[in-house]
């Protein structure tokens, strides 16, 4: 009587219960759930006609569109493995990932056809190239194939331990690794997300988070599971976000901190006329308390912080609100909201340990590494047993994230392990220093890195992006930091930049900043 745990179960239930409810809005296109799932079935049949078999990898390169959303159902229900790639990469990156993943079919949005066309000769394992929205000589047309396909496909037996997706990491310091997510991983992450961040069928979810990024934090399935509506957004710009929220009565979205910053600092008119009550789940990097406070006060939105990694499907903690938080000031609540929180009911066990594997005291000060084990941890890295063994050593997944545990059990990330600054024997959290500087009225973004220092070994250095039209001096920002931090934590130097270097998923590339400074001093 056991049913394999798979997000495909969400599709079965929603199709039966909510066939006439709004499913997807993509520009001028509007589909209900019956129409959406009919298209998914036809694309499954089309893939099988192209020779796709159970276990085959099928790669997609596309922004947040109807066709990409359909892939999260059409591909897995024939037992194939979806490989959603980051469309912000370059052609050589695409070649490496498509070959590494062994993709048999590649589906590409029109905007990226030229990039993939330039590397077709490097992709001998690909048997079919499909163009999404638009045509190209030598490419198959998605809509044509879909229209000609039958409604029925061959559905194989699928185990919950079968691969659902391969999601490639950002690869900030080395080649990206292919994270193998099973049907069970994704199902339990989705259930845990709904338990801690409830949605109803009345919700309308805006796709500001890329669907390729850890499967849109599994919201490609979460939204469907509850019978809510997917509202696609192909390019995330503050004006487009606010307009889509108003036009489509959006009630919820997910956003990395970089998107939160752009929303918090949108034009006064956009912020003043914004729809109130929007719920936001943020993760990907620790957001600043100042950013959370500004959005909640000025826009009337409600922000919840979560934490996870691609390797954990991705969410493993959530900063759940507690009744005792209600008596705190808004600023104090914002500080708590910036913490990563406690384990999801379905995620498994999280610990913060020292170099000897012992749990750190719950004092909010002692830094250790986050390690986890449980139902959402990946099956491993695709075709990389060495990296898998290293990450999973001792029966725990080692995150590489440095954190503390507060007396109430809430985890709070202080850095990546490799980014903790040790100055004169003292540990300095770059995240803490960044949070202080972000409270300065002229600062838009900031990154703190440790640079060599003759006296202290290394010392914090700030790379700052100022708000448009704002001014601030190095001395002014240094004194601002010293007024709000222990003096040894204040940056020794400050460099002003027009923008911070970031990965394609919006994470600051601190190794680039260190290298830039090292080169400039030679």
User: Are the C-beta atoms of 188 and 106 separated by less than 8 Å?
Assistant: no
User: Nearest 5 degrees, angle CA 378-CA 381-CA 383?
Assistant: 145
Long-range pairs of 90-99 with CB within 8 A, sequence gap ≥ 24: 90/115, 91/115, 91/116, 91/118, 91/119, 92/119, 93/176, 94/61, 94/119, 95/119, 95/122, 95/123, 96/175, 96/176, 97/59, 97/168, 97/176, 97/178, 98/59, 98/123, 98/125, 98/126, 99/123, 99/125
Predicted confidence (pLDDT) per residue in 37-90, tens digit: 999 999 999 999 999 999 999 999 999 999 999 999 999 999 999 999 999 888
| 59 closest CA partner among 89, 33, 35 | 89
- Fold category of 420-520 in CATH: GMP Synthetase; Chain A, domain 3 (3.30.300)
* 313 band by pLDDT with thresholds 50, 70 and 90: very high
The pLDDT value recorded for residue 520 is 43
- Class of 245-417 per CATH? alpha beta
The mean pLDDT value for 416-431 works out to: 83
End-to-end CA distance of the chain: 68
Query: In 265-372, which ranges are continuous DSSP H helix?
Result: 268-272, 289-299, 330-337
The pLDDT value recorded for residue 519 is 41
Contacts of 514 (CB under 8 A, 6+ apart): 449, 450, 451
Query: What one-character DSSP code corresponds to residue 89?
Result: S
The mean pLDDT value for 474-485 works out to: 95
**Cα–Cα distance measured from residue 477 to residue 484, given in angstroms and rounded to the nearest whole number:** 11
The pLDDT value recorded for residue 286 is 74
245-417 and 420-520 in the same fold: no
Taking the model in full, what pTM does it have? 0.89
- Class of 8-188 per CATH? alpha beta
Predicted confidence (pLDDT) per residue in 443-458, tens digit: 999 999 999 888 888 8
Predicted confidence (pLDDT) per residue in 83-126, tens digit: 999 998 889 999 999 999 999 999 999 999 999 999 999 999 99
* 175 band by pLDDT with thresholds 50, 70 and 90: confident
User: Are the C-beta atoms of 243 and 221 separated by less than 8 Å?
Assistant: no
**Cα–Cα distance measured from residue 349 to residue 345, given in angstroms and rounded to the nearest whole number:** 9
| 340 closest CA partner among 280, 284, 398 | 284
The pLDDT value recorded for residue 171 is 57
Predicted confidence (pLDDT) per residue in 366-419, tens digit: 999 999 999 999 999 999 999 999 999 999 999 999 999 999 999 999 888 888
Q: Is the pLDDT of residue 431 over 90?
A: no
Residue 281 dihedral angles phi and psi, to the nearest 5°: -105, 125
For the chain, domain boundaries? 8-188, 245-417, 420-520
- Using a pLDDT cut of 70, give the percent of the chain over it: 98
Mean pLDDT of the chain: 94
The pLDDT value recorded for residue 521 is 44
Predicted confidence (pLDDT) per residue in 202-260, tens digit: 999 999 999 999 999 999 999 999 999 999 999 999 999 999 999 999 999 999 888 99
The pLDDT value recorded for residue 453 is 86
**DSSP codes joined into one string, 473-504:** -HHHHHHHHHHHS-GGGS-SEEEE-SS--B-T
**Cα–Cα distance measured from residue 205 to residue 453, given in angstroms and rounded to the nearest whole number:** 48
């Amino acid at each position: 009587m056991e049913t394999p745990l798979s997000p495909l179960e969400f599709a079965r239930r929603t199709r039966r219960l909510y066939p006439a409810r709004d499913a997807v809005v993509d520009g001028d296109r509007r589909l209900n759930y019956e129409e959406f799932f009919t298209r998914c079935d036809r694309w499954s049949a089309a893939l099988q006609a192209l020779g796709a078999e159970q276990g085959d990898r099928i790669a997609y390169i596309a922004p947040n569109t109807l066709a990409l959303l359909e892939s999260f159902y059409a591909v897995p229900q024939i037992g194939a493995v979806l490989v959603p790639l980051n469309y912000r990469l370059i052609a050589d990156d695409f070649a490496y990932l498509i070959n590494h993943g062994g993709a048999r079919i590649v589906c590409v949005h029109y905007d990226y056809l030229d990039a993939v066309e330039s590397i077709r000769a490097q992709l001998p394992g690909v048997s079919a190239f499909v163009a999404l929205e638009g045509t190209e000589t030598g490419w198959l047309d998605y809509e044509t194939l879909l229209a000609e396909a039958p409604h029925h496909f061959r559905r194989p037996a699928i185990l919950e331990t079968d691969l659902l997706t391969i999601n490639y990491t950002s690869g900030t310091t080395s080649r990206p690794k292919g994270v193998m997510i099973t049907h069970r991983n994704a199902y339990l992450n989705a259930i845990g997300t709904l338990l801690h961040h409830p949605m109803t069928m009345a919700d309308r979810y805006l796709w500001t988070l890329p669907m390729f990024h850890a499967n849109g934090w599994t919201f490609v399935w979460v939204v469907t599971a509850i019978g809510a509506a997917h509202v696609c957004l192909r390019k995330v710009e503050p004006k487009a976000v606010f307009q889509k929220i108003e036009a489509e009565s959006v009630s919820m979205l997910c956003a990395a901190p970089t998107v939160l910053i752009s929303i918090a600092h949108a034009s006064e008119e956009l912020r003043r006329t914004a729809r109130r009550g929007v719920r936001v789940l943020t993760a990907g990097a620790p957001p600043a308390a100042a950013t959370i406070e500004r959005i909640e006060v000025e826009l009337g939105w409600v922000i919840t912080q979560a934490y996870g990694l691609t390797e954990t499907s991705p969410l493993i903690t959530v900063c759940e609100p507690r009744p005792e938080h209600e008596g705190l000031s808004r600023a104090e609540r914002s500080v708590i909201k910036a913490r990563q929180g406690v384990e999801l009911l379905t995620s498994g066990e999280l610990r913060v340990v020292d170099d000897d594997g012992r749990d750190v005291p719950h004092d909010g000060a002692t830094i250790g590494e986050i390690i986890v084990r449980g139902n959402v941890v990946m099956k491993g890295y695709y075709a990389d047993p060495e990296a898998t063994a290293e990450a999973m050593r001792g029966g725990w997944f080692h995150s590489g994230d440095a954190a503390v545990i507060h007396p109430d059990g809430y985890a709070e990330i202080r850095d990546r392990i490799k980014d903790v600054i040790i100055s004169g024997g003292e540990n300095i959290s770059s995240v803490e220093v960044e949070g202080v500087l972000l409270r300065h009225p002229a600062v838009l973004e900031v990154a703190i890195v440790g640079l060599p220092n003759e006296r202290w070994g290394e010392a914090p250095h700030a790379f700052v992006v100022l708000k448009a039209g704002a001014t601030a001096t190095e001395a002014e920002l240094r004194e601002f930091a010293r007024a709000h931090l222990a003096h040894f934590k204040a940056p020794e130097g400050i460099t002003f930049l027009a923008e911070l270097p970031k990965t394609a998923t919006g994470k600051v590339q601190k190794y680039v900043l260190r290298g830039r400074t090292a080169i400039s001093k030679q």
